[in-house]
C-alpha cells in the first residue's frame, strides 16, 4: 500500500459515521499496516481509519513508551461495552487537528470488544491513557472530534482557522 496521508480539519470525511468492516482480509491488513506506519511517523499514539480518508470502523493504537518496544494494537469494529465510574482528565491532541490541545474528562477505564487483525474476537480491559486513546479513536469512527468538547465559540474559531488554512494551501 502506498503511504497514507493523515487528513485534517475541515475534511468532511472526519465528520462521517463509519461503516462496520464485514470481512477481515489482506486488503484490510494492508490498510492497517499503512495506518500504523502513518501513526508512528506522525508521531501519534492512535489513528482511526477516517483520519486517512477511509470511512470504516478500524483503529490502531500504541501507547507504549516512545523509545521502548512497539506494542501496536489493531481494533476492527471496536465496541465499548463498559465504562468505569471513575473519571479522569487528559489534555488530548489529534493528528487531524494539529497544534490544538483540549482538556477532556472521560471515564478512566473501559472494556472494549473488537476483532483483531486476524478477525478473531477479543475483549480487553483498559485504563488510564490507553482507555482515553480508545475513546478518542472510537469518537473518530462516529464523526466526533476533540473540538466537540469545547464551547461553540472556541470550536468555531478553530474550524475557521483550519478552513482558512485549507483555502490558502489550495491556492
Q: What is the CA 13 to chain-centroid distance, rounded?
A: 13
Selecting among 37, 65, 137, 169, the annotated active-site residue is 137
121 C-beta neighbours (distance < 10 Å), count: 9
Instruction: Please indicate whether residue 37 is annotated as part of the active site.
Output: no
* Cβ neighbours of residue 79 closer than 8 Å, sequence gap 6 or more: 112, 113, 114
Say if CB 48 and CB 141 are below 8 A apart. yes
Nearest to 138 by CA among 42, 82, 60, 34: 60
Say if CB 127 and CB 103 are below 8 A apart. no
154 C-beta neighbours (distance < 10 Å), count: 13
- Rounded to whole angstroms, the Cα distance separating 30 from 45 reads 19
Catalytic site positions? 137
Amino acid at each position: 500500500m502506498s503511504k497514507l496521508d493523515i487528513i485534517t480539519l475541515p475534511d468532511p470525511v472526519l465528520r462521517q459515521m463509519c461503516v462496520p468492516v464485514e470481512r477481515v482480509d489482506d486488503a484490510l491488513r494492508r490498510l492497517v499496516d499503512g495506518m500504523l506506519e502513518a501513526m508512528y511517523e506522525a508521531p501519534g499514539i492512535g489513528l482511526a481509519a477516517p483520519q486517512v480518508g477511509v470511512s470504516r470502523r478500524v483503529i490502531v493504537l500504541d501507547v507504549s513508551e516512545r523509545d521502548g518496544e512497539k506494542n501496536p494494537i489493531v481494533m476492527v469494529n471496536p465496541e465499548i461495552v463498559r465504562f468505569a465510574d471513575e473519571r479522569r482528565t487528559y489534555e488530548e491532541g489529534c493528528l487531524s487537528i494539529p497544534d490544538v490541545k483540549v482538556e477532556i474528562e472521560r471515564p478512566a477505564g473501559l472494556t472494549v470488544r473488537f476483532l483483531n487483525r486476524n478477525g478473531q474476537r477479543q475483549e480487553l480491559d483498559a485504563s488510564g491513557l490507553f482507555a482515553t486513546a480508545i475513546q478518542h479513536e472510537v469518537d473518530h469512527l462516529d464523526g466526533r472530534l476533540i473540538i466537540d468538547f469545547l464551547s461553540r465559540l472556541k470550536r468555531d474559531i478553530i474550524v475557521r482557522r483550519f478552513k482558512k488554512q485549507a483555502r490558502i494551501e489550495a491556492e
